[in-house]
Structures are given as structure tokens and as C-alpha cells.
């Protein structure tokens, strides 16, 4: 019986439908190199399986045409209610206004937001593929074998320079969060936010003030850094990485000398454990799923939309419709993906607009517009003031590093001078000994004493020079040391 159900709910989905080369999420994926696709021996098809059960659980799996499992996710749905399972539709209309009306009811308590690069583009973060201005074009001077090589661990080991060039472009502190980020923060403030799942690596969610326990960075971020040596894996903080990146240096581990990489998921690396753990906990409890600024093609992130209850409302805020199953697949029984246009749709809403405009309109419908606008304005002012201070601190750290380098140079010079002086001193000592020996043999003692006196004078001068050089080196080293912090009161 189970095998018959599996056959009924199994369809072959072309790889091109799952992985789109035009995807603009901040961790772009190429079908042939995606970490979850690296075991597909034939690119002709993937098998997507959805098996319902009497316990209201859904299991999703991706496997290759040869049968090898690529990824598998499951979630236990919430008990049958207005937002999951059978019963009256949760939305009175499949519009943004219908979603806002639902959010005002007691049935909407747990909101999950899934986001991609679209929520950050208005912050000024460049995308990857725009001709002439995209980051990939700007990295071509490094002669990448293909654009995605910048996120391949093997290539990073050989040539880390392109990645750290990109890191300077995207490093936290360079950009301010957008209206979209602050809407998510407003959801948290008002007690609606169950979790925010993001594909982005720009950490703008953190900058916007969204609590870390409410955030799942599916593709990692710049907030942590580790040595790539599996036997080492020493951790380094963000400030350490920032100083090296902006100084144009390649970060290396001070323990094993291997490269240090931000905790961003590269091709071939597994997603964070936190992602897998919370997916299984969150999606069954979701009352409303909001998807914004993502093309929904990067797996396994894209499949998360199918893990909520069968009638849980799903809102897409994007410039175009994405995440829809092919009509032929639906005819064959595949019920995954978003369904905006069929007559059966009672829960999926597509609001086609920029993410910022869409969230601002939703805030207006909820009566939150002024609160959202004020939150954006006030926090941007705070961040602008903090940016001035951060820039000054960064400059001070660079100057301090330069002073230390200068002091090191002065010390090296001093060592060279002392070495030369010691050589001179040895020569003078030898000359003095020779003069005293000559005195014993010379008939004219006066000349011998004069030679010995000259040698003694040379020794005294050399010793004086050494003392002066040492004092200068000590003074330079003291000047380069940072001032001791004032004692706390």
C-alpha cells in the first residue's frame, strides 16, 4: 500500500525547474555545483516525493534519478484547524487585505518569514549577475573559471583573494536594513514572529535588531569565522576578520596557518545544524507563512513552503510569481509549490511589488504604517551615528597597527645598528690589545700609550652609541603600546 502511495505522489521534476541560473539570492547556486545536488549522476531529473499520512505529517525528499537521496525534510502539522487540514478557509479572500484581516484574528499567532536577496537590494547591496555592475563582473579580473567558483571550497583554498574582495563589498556595517527587515522586527515586537528564515549572508536582520533566537541564517553569515582546517577549526570574532579584510590581507589561523573563512555556506558544505533542527519544530506550528524576495529555486530552502499545514495561508511578496508547480505536474498529482491561479486555491496570495512596498502596504492594512515608518527612521539615525563611531574606531585600529609596524621597523633598525656597533667594539678591543702588546715591545712607550688611549676612546664612543640606540628603540616601543584602560569605578 505504501509503495502505491509513493508511486501516486512521486513525479519527475526537471532540474531546470528546481535550480534557476538567474536566481539572485545572496548565496547563488549553480545546478551542477549545488551542495545538495552534488550526488546527482544524471541532470535529467530529480524525484520529489510527498507522502501524506494519517498523523497529519508530510515528508518531502529529493533524490537523483539513480535513487540516491539528496535531501529529506519532514514536519508534523498542527491539529486540523482553520489554517491547517480540513475546515473553512483561513482567508476570506486571497488578497493582501485578506491576509491582513486574518492576522487580526486569534487564529494567527505564529508567523514564519522566508526571505531572499530581494529584501536587501534597496539597501544598496549589489546583486551578483547584473551586467557591468554585478559583483561577478567586478571579480572577472581574477580570471574565475566560472562565477560560482568564488563559493567553492577547493577554489578558495587555491585562490582566496576573489572571495575576500567580495567580502569587503558585503561586510556588515556597510549597509542599513530596509523597510522589509524592520517589518519583520515589528512582527517580533508584536509577538507574531515564530522564526525568520533567510538565505541572505549580509546580517542585516541582526543589524535591524531581530533577536538571534528568532533568526535562522540558512546559508550562514559573516557573524562568525573559523579556520578551514578540519583538525583545527579555531574560531575568530568578526572584529578580527574585519580588520584584516579592510587592510587587504588574507586571514590566516594563528594556530595552524591555514585560511580562516567566515561562516558562510560554500558549495559542498552542509547547512547549519540549527536550520535542520528548527525546520522540524517550526513549520508544523506555522499559522501564516510570508515569503519575500526569493526566487524559491535553491534547495532545500525552496521546499520549506510545503512543510506548513495544508490550509495554512502563504503570502508571497515579490516582483514576480515564483515557486509554482508546473501545471503538468499538478495534473500528475504533485501538490507541492505555491498555487495562485487555480480555482482550488484558498490560501496562496501573490502581492507583486518590491518587498519594501509590499511590507509597507501590509503594515498600512494592519494599522502599523506609522509605527513602521518611525522605526525605520529612528533606527537609521541611530545606525548613522554608530557608523561614524565605528569608522573612527576602525581608523584608530589601523593607525595603531601601523604604529606597531613602525615600531617594529625601528626595533629592527636598532638591532642592525647594535650589531654593527658590537662589531666595531670588537675591532676596537682587538686594536687596544694590539696596542698594549706593541707597548711592551716598543722602545718608545709614549707612542704605544697614545695608541692604547685612542682605542679606549673608541670603545667608550661605541658603548655610548649602543646605549643611545637601545634607549631610542625602547622609547619607540613604549609609544606604540596602547594606553591602559581606565580602572572601572
Q: Which residues belong to the annotated binding site? A: 227, 232, 253, 256
**Which one from 47, 77, 181, 219 is the annotated catalytic residue?**
219
For residue 419, give every residue at least 6 positions away whose Cβ sits within 8 Å of its Cβ, in sequence order, or none: none
Q: Where does 15-162 show beta strands of DSSP type E?
A: 46-52, 57-64, 69-76, 111-115
Q: Please state the residue numbers annotated as binding site for Zn(2+).
A: 227, 232, 253, 256
220 within 8 A of 202, measured Cβ to Cβ: no
DSSP state of 226: E
Give how far the C-alpha of residue 398 lies from the chain's centroid of Cα atoms, to the nearest Å: 23
- Cα–Cα distance measured from residue 302 to residue 306, given in angstroms and rounded to the nearest whole number: 9
- Cα–Cα distance measured from residue 210 to residue 207, given in angstroms and rounded to the nearest whole number: 8
For helices 238-246 and 369-441, the axis angle rounded to 10 degrees is 70
**Could you count the other beta carbons within 10 Å of the beta carbon of residue 406?**
13
In which residue are the cell numbers 707597548 written? 439
DSSP state of 80: S
Beta bridge partners of 264: 220
Burial of 45 (0-12, 13-18, 19+ CB in 10 A): middle
Distance of CA 191 to CAs 113, 139, 280, 308, Å?
14, 43, 21, 20
Question: What is the H or E stretch that residue 264 is in?
Answer: strand 260-264
Burial of 343 (0-12, 13-18, 19+ CB in 10 A): exposed
DSSP-assigned letters across all residues of 374-424? HHHHHHHHHHHHHHHHHHHHHHHHHHHHHHHHHHHHHHHHHHHHHHHHHHH
3-class secondary structure, 53: coil
What is the C-alpha radius of gyration for the chain, rounded to an integer number of angstroms? Answer: 33
Question: What is the H or E stretch that residue 181 is in?
Answer: helix 179-189
Closest CA to 34 of 231, 255, 199: 199
**Is 472 known to be catalytic?**
no
Distance of CA 463 to CAs 75, 420, 432, Å?
81, 12, 15
> Catalytic residue positions?
219
Amino acid at each position: 500500500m505504501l509503495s502505491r502511495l509513493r508511486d501516486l505522489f512521486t513525479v519527475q521534476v526537471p532540474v531546470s525547474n528546481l535550480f534557476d541560473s538567474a536566481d539572485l539570492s545572496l548565496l547563488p547556486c549553480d545546478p551542477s555545483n549545488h551542495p545538495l545536488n552534488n550526488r546527482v549522476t544524471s541532470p535529467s531529473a530529480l524525484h520529489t516525493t510527498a507522502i501524506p499520512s494519517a498523523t497529519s505529517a508530510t515528508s518531502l525528499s529529493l533524490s537523483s534519478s539513480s535513487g540516491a537521496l539528496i535531501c529529506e525534510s519532514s514536519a508534523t502539522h498542527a491539529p486540523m484547524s482553520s489554517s491547517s487540514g480540513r475546515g473553512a478557509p483561513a482567508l476570506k479572500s486571497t488578497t493582501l487585505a485578506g491576509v491582513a484581516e486574518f492576522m487580526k484574528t486569534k487564529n494567527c499567532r505564529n508567523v514564519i518569514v522566508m526571505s531572499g536577496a530581494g529584501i536587501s537590494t534597496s539597501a544598496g547591496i549589489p546583486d551578483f549577475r547584473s551586467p557591468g555592475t554585478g559583483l561577478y563582473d567586478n571579480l572577472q579580473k581574477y580570471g574565475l573559471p566560472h562565477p560560482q567558483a568564488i563559493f567553492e571550497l577547493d577554489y578558495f583554498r587555491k585562490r582566496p583573494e576573489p572571495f575576500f574582495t567580495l567580502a569587503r563589498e558585503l561586510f556588515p556595517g556597510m549597509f542599513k536594513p530596509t523597510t522589509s527587515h524592520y517589518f519583520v522586527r515589528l512582527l517580533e515586537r508584536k509577538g507574531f514572529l515564530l522564526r525568520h528564515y533567510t538565505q541572505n549572508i549580509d546580517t542585516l536582520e541582526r543589524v535591524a535588531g531581530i533577536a538571534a533566537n528568532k533568526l535562522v541564517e540558512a546559508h550562514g553569515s559573516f557573524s562568525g569565522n573559523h579556520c578551514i582546517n578540519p583538525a583545527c577549526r579555531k574560531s575568530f570574532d568578526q572584529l578580527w576578520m574585519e580588520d584584516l579584510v579592510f587592510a587587504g590581507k588574507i586571514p590566516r589561523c594563528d594556530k595552524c596557518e591555514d585560511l580562516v573563512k567566515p561562516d558562510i555556506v560554500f558549495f559542498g558544505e552542509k547547512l547549519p545544524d540549527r536550520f535542520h533542527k528548527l525546520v522540524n519544530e517550526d513549520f508544523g506550528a506555522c499559522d501564516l507563512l510570508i515569503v519575500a524576495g526569493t526566487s524559491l529555486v535553491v534547495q532545500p530552502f525552496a521546499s520549506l513552503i510545503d512543510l506548513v499545514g495544508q490550509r495554512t495561508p502563504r503570502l508571497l511578496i515579490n516582483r514576480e510569481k515564483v515557486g509554482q508547480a508546473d501545471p503538468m505536474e499538478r495534473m500528475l498529482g504533485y501538490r507541492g509549490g505555491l498555487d495562485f491561479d487555480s480555482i482550488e486555491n484558498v490560501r496562496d496570495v501573490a502581492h507583486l511589488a518590491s518587498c519594501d512596498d509590499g511590507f509597507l502596504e501590509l503594515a498600512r492594512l494592519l494599522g502599523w504604517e506609522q509605527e513602521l515608518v518611525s522605526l525605520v527612521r529612528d533606527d537609521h539615525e541611530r545606525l548613522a551615528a554608530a557608523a561614524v563611531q565605528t569608522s573612527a574606531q576602525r581608523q584608530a585600529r589601523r593607525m595603531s597597527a601601523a604604529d606597531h609596524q613602525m615600531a617594529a621597523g625601528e626595533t629592527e633598525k636598532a638591532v642592525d645598528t647594535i650589531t654593527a656597533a658590537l662589531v666595531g667594539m670588537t675591532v676596537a678591543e682587538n686594536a687596544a690589545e694590539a696596542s698594549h702588546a706593541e707597548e711592551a715591545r716598543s722602545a718608545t712607550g709614549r707612542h704605544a700609550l697614545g695608541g692604547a688611549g685612542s682605542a679606549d676612546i673608541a670603545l667608550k664612543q661605541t658603548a655610548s652609541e649602543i646605549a643611545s640606540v637601545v634607549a631610542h628603540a625602547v622609547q619607540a616601543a613604549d609609544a606604540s603600546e596602547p594606553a591602559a584602560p581606565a580602572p572601572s569605578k
